[in-house]
Amino acid sequence: MPSSPTPSSTGAASIDPADLLAEACRELGRLGPALGALLGDIDVAVARSRPVPAEWAPVEILCHLRDEETEDFGARLRAVLDGRAEFAPIDPEGWVDGRRYRESDVRLVIKDLDARRRASIEFLAGVDPGRLSASVAHRTLGRLSASDILVAWVAHDRLHLAQLANTLARLWADRWAPHRAEYAGTIPYGNPPLSSRPS
């Protein structure tokens, strides 16, 4: 179990980098089971459906996670640990249409994401926690340490799991219209939200 943060001389919490690394590995390992629970044997048409035109379809979310695994978080963590002076540019938003994510085979994307995540965790298991304080300048966020990237990596998983759950809720509700799913509560990407769940 990780130790509790202790106050430092600046008043900020002092975090043991070994604890952070171990917990990040555990949390990153949760993605595959979480996706399995959410997606199961998702229908191809549903996987390629967008809840509204401006939002991503489930397969697009999965492709984003897959490519971010190695071209963003994995690559940028390595850049910091290797002592590079800057990060290679990326374009996650542009990849969605440029790489035709929506046409991808959802089963192959899940398989590839799982393989990439296992490789990432294996890599992280060999990282010296003492190196996590190294940093590289980011063009808008200032200096980012390897620890910052690890924390953001886990948060990124959770943000997109929430996005995926919201998308699946909307697609489910739309599939069974005119039955009224609003009894569940506010479902994203739909009509103006109700003030509260009906009692």
Note the pLDDT tens digit of each residue in 132-181.
999 999 988 889 999 999 999 999 999 999 999 999 999 999 999 999 89
**Beta-bridge partner residues of 136:** 144
Determine, yes or no, domain membership for 128. Answer: yes
Contact 25, 122 (CB under 8 A): no
Instruction: Give the pLDDT band (50/70/90) at residue 72.
Output: very high
Determine, yes or no, domain membership for 99. Answer: yes
What's this model's pTM, rounded to 2 decimal places? 0.88
What pLDDT shows up at residue 158?
A: 97
| CATH code, domain carrying 64 | 1.20.120.450
Instruction: Give the pLDDT band (50/70/90) at residue 9.
Output: very low
Determine, yes or no, domain membership for 3. Answer: no
Which domain, by its residues, includes 62? 16-184
Buried b (16+ CB within 10 A) or exposed e, 17-31: beebbebbbebbeeb
DSSP-based three-state secondary structure for 143: strand
Q: Which two tokens stand for residue 10?
A: 């600046």
Determine, yes or no, domain membership for 5. Answer: no
What pLDDT shows up at residue 10?
A: 35
Determine, yes or no, domain membership for 199. Answer: no
Domains of the chain: total? 1
CB-count burial class (<10 Å; 0-12, 13-18, 19+) for 129: middle
- In this model, does residue 11 exceed pLDDT 50? no
DSSP-based three-state secondary structure for 116: helix
What pLDDT shows up at residue 182?
A: 87
Distance CA 198, CA 193 (A): 12
Instruction: Give the pLDDT band (50/70/90) at residue 191.
Output: low
Q: Which two tokens stand for residue 60?
A: 């697009």
Determine, yes or no, domain membership for 11. Answer: no
Distance CA 108, CA 9 (A): 50
